[in-house]
Amino acid sequence: MGSSKKIQDIKVAVDAVIFGYFDKQDLQLLLIKRKIDPYKGGWALPGGLVMDDENLDDAVKRELYEEAGIKPDFLEQLYSFGNVGRDPRNRVVSVAYLGLVNPSYHELFADSDAEDAQWFSVNKLPSLAFDHKSIIDMALNRLRTKIQYQPVGFNLLNEEFPFSDLENLYKTIVGHEIDRRNFRKKIMSYGLLNETNNVKKEGSGRPGKLFTFNQKKYEELEKEGFYFEIK
């Protein structure tokens, strides 16, 4: 029997699905406009090839900063995408990341091989390069599951926020209306919010109290393990 030599010539890339939230709007997604082929002039997730002497986490942070000027508040590995033919140039396995930022603390600027960087509503995305739509769908599902047991949404809000902002954020992440009274009752019962002495005037109603996130209380709850079901 003859032995066939195994040939491997695989490149490794990173892609980042970065979600943001603007006050009272849909959940937003960061996309870059590509400067180079393939898909030149098309919209894609920020990302690129990992350098030989670079860790994965460092690579995704570098690409995000180079292509959009972003340093995420929360970033974790999502999944690896390695179907044959996902990149027309060569065999590329991409390690995707899920990230969250508060856009009001970040000014976008495109550099490197990105022509532009913009926020898009997750409900109104343009057509996307490569298999990036599949990556985004998986990231959105992960985020919707994750906020049930880990209040990562606080990374998207200002340091002080009215309760209505938190409510609207959760509503836009899960993608449907929520039981407002039940939501408030649950959040308050966990002690995750600290009430401040500050208020914010919204519309014609009375000014609403502002809250901050209680990180210490959250860390205690995380050790115990808790599930926060949103209906």
Burial of 84 (0-12, 13-18, 19+ CB in 10 A): exposed
**Domains of the chain, earliest start first:** 11-146 (3.90.79.10), 152-224 (1.10.10.10)
Q: What six digits make up the tokens of 119?
A: 């926020």
Q: How far apart are CA 19 and CA 156, in angstroms?
A: 8
Backbone angles phi, psi at 55, to 5 degrees: -75, 155
pLDDT score, position 3: 57
Length of the chain: 231
Q: At what angle do helices 180-189 and 163-174 cross, to 10 degrees?
A: 110
CA atoms within 13 A on the CB side of 32: 28
Q: How far apart are CA 49 and CA 40, in angstroms?
A: 17
Q: How far apart are CA 187 and CA 164, in angstroms?
A: 12
Q: Is the dihedral of CA 140, 146, 148, 152 positive or negative?
A: negative
Per-residue pLDDT of the chain (231 residues; tens, 9 = 90+): 555 678 889 999 999 999 999 888 899 999 999 999 999 999 999 999 999 999 999 999 999 999 999 999 899 999 999 999 888 888 999 999 999 999 888 889 888 778 999 999 999 999 999 999 999 999 999 999 988 888 788 889 999 999 999 999 999 999 889 999 999 998 999 899 999 999 987 766 778 899 999 989 988 888 887 777 777
What kind and span of H or E run contains 136?
Answer: helix 132-146
CB atoms near residue 71 (< 10 Å): 13
Q: How far apart are CA 99 and CA 77, in angstroms?
A: 9
pLDDT score, position 2: 54
pLDDT score, position 106: 85
